[in-house]
Amino acid sequence: MRVSRLFTKTSKNAPADEVSKNAQLLIRAGFVYKVMAGVYAYTPLGLRVLENIKRIVREEMNAIQGQELIMTNLQPKELWEVTTRWDDKVVDVWFKTRLKDETEVGLAWSHEEPIMEMMRQYIESYKDLPVSVYQFQTKLRNELRAKSGIMRGREFVMKDMYSLHADAKDLEDYYNKVIEAYKRIYNRLGIGDDTYVTFASGGAFTKFSHEFQTICEAGEDVLYIHRGKNIAVNEEVLDEAIRELGVKKDELEKVKSAEVGNIFNFGTEKSMQMDILITDHQGKRQPLYLASYGIGITRVMGVIVEKFADDKGIVWPESVAPFTVYLAPLGESTDVIAEADDLYKALTTAGVAVLYDDRTVARAGEKFADADLLGIPYRIVISDKTVASKQLELKPRTESHTQLMDRESVIKKLAPTPPRLL
């Protein structure tokens, strides 16, 4: 992509109505556009990041036999009445509306009931299980107060997966597989080292649910962690969990964190509530077992910005960066332009995502500042100097020194390894 053609622009001024670091930087750099409080649109730059995050999640979900689908945002009221969750006193984040004929419908804040209802039609016997489905969907939640930029909006993208099983043991095994898949996801997203599987409250049907929490100053949760033992407990359930785990409170370190994933074991509760039964080996009708697994895609994006940004701007991990390289020719000499055009073509052909700053009017400082603000992992400079020496100047976003390399080495270094097939 050429910078001259990208419709978004960077800005030196941060918007006054945003305080959170993630929103300020994402807006200044042109990744998101604020539509209203807690509601953000994603520009081509922002969408590339979201898609990169989704790709990683998708690969890992597929690897554990998740099947991707997509549900709807309009949901029938009756479904939710069965589980008492249509009631605003039970679920206080509903957006509700009506069809022209006055039929009440809800706007998806979750898809648990609708997914189960759909499964009713396909799952009749233990032979149809297990099954695991997931989607990337927009959730609409009428939060009293939006805050923290894209980390807690009224409209956001979530990956939610649901697994159905014939018995508790099968669910348990799969649940543990998902935990491992989630760990791989957070590692690949670059936040693995600071992300903990956390004991949290899970309502009546699970003793504890598991949250995935990433240490992050901008987060809303408080965690007590033991780095050595890899233990983390949400403050909400500290006393119970300490008893359960046999650790002392004063061994634990208190940190702020953001929830980046949450998994629940519903057991047979939802199945019984909704009367979705399967036939077992003996031909008897039995409730099935359900678990759900969420990852806040847009929230993860915000957490990554919060965690890695420096005083110059965003710092994307290579795995989610919208582009791998920021290519900045300096000056207007025809040799420089020709070399840059050529390299742009060569890198693109090699599968490297390049943001090519082809603006001839922009000065060096402007290009460098944009490269930094945008958080592109590598910057390549081409100038009269580099052309003369037949080298390229490469600088990782996180380092202050540049290094001279020849073109072949640069391409070799930056070209992606082929993805594993799933």
Position among 33, 95, 126, 205 found at the interface with RNA (CB under 7 A): 205
CA–CA dist 311, 140 (Å, integer): 33
The amino acid sitting at 233 is V
Size of the site for RNA (CB under 7 A): 56
Position among 61, 289, 383, 410 found at the interface with RNA (CB under 7 A): 383
- Residue 207 binds RNA, judged by CB under 7 A: no
**CA nearest neighbour of 9 among 306, 382, 377, 374:** 374
CA–CA dist 28, 22 (Å, integer): 10
Query: Could you give the string, one character per residue 212-231, with x where binding to RNA holds by CB under 7 A and - elsewhere?
Result: --------x-----------
| Helical (H) or strand (E) element with 137 | strand 131-140
* Residues in 290-329 that interact with RNA by CB under 7 A: 292, 312
For residue 147, what are its two tokens?
């805050």
Residue 403 sits at φ, ψ, to 5 deg, of -135, 145
**CA nearest neighbour of 275 among 123, 135, 95, 152:** 123
**CA nearest neighbour of 243 among 210, 212, 199, 205:** 199
Which of the stretches 10-18, 45-53, 280-288, 410-418 binds RNA when contact is defined by CB under 7 A? 10-18
DSSP 202-230: --TT-S-EEEEEEE-TT-SEEEEEETTTT
- Residue 386 binds RNA, judged by CB under 7 A: yes
For residue 2, what are its two tokens?
């050429």
Cβ proximity to RNA, 277 vs 369, nearer residue: 369
Cβ proximity to RNA, 189 vs 291, nearer residue: 291
Position among 174, 186, 208, 264 found at the interface with RNA (CB under 7 A): 264
Position among 203, 246, 418, 419 found at the interface with RNA (CB under 7 A): 203
CA–CA dist 236, 254 (Å, integer): 13
- Residue 338 binds RNA, judged by CB under 7 A: no
* Residues in 11-30 that interact with RNA by CB under 7 A: 11-20
**Sequence-separated (6 or more) residues with CB below 8 Å from residue 105:** 74, 75, 76, 77, 96, 97, 98, 99
CA–CA dist 134, 155 (Å, integer): 19
Cβ proximity to RNA, 48 vs 367, nearer residue: 367
We find the least distance from the C-beta atom of residue 142 to RNA, in angstroms, to be 11
Position among 145, 243, 248, 284 found at the interface with RNA (CB under 7 A): 145
Query: Could you give the string, one character per residue 61-100, with x where binding to RNA holds by CB under 7 A and - elsewhere?
Result: -------------------------------x--------
- Residue 392 binds RNA, judged by CB under 7 A: no
- Residue 364 binds RNA, judged by CB under 7 A: yes
> What is the dihedral sign for C-alpha 70, 88, 140, 189?
negative
We find the least distance from the C-beta atom of residue 61 to RNA, in angstroms, to be 19
- Residue 369 binds RNA, judged by CB under 7 A: yes
- Residue 363 binds RNA, judged by CB under 7 A: yes
- Site residues (CB under 7 A) for RNA? 9-20, 36-38, 92, 110, 112, 143-148, 152, 202-203, 205, 220, 262, 264, 266, 292, 312, 330-332, 361-366, 368-370, 372-373, 381, 383-386, 393, 395, 402
